């Protein structure tokens, strides 16, 4: 594998990992805000889902982002 192929592979890996992290946090925020609106518990569910998203991101990072 030459240098360009390794660089491209590393770039794809970094973009995939950042997409997983961003998607996890966005899902936590959107779901938390949605449930807060339905249940009238404004910051509670958002905080709960943000904490859950943080735990999931830590799991993803510790696992190395591999599926």
Residue 66 pLDDT exceeds 90:
no
Dist CA 66 CA 22 (whole Å): 16
pTM as predicted: 0.86
Domain-embedded: residue 10: no
Q: What percent of the chain has pLDDT over 70?
A: 96
Structural domain including 36 reads: 17-63
Q: Are 39 and 11 in contact (CB under 8 A)?
A: no
Domain-embedded: residue 27: yes
Domain-embedded: residue 54: yes
Domain-embedded: residue 33: yes
Average pLDDT, the chain: 93
Residue burial 23-57, b: 16+ Cβ < 10 Å; e: rest: ebbeebeebbeeebeeeeeeeebbebbbeebeebb
pLDDT at 64: 79
Task: Please tell me the total count of domains within the chain.
Answer: 1
Domain-embedded: residue 12: no
What average pLDDT does range 52-61 have in this prediction? 95
Residue 35 pLDDT exceeds 60:
yes
């Amino acid at each position: 594998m030459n240098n360009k192929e390794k660089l491209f592979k590393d770039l794809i890996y970094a973009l995939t990992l950042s997409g997983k992290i961003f998607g996890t946090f966005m899902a936590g925020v959107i779901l938390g805000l949605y449930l807060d609106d339905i249940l009238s518990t404004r910051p509670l569910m958002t905080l709960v889902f943000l904490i859950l998203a943080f735990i999931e991101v830590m799991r993803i990072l510790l696992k190395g982002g591999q599926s």
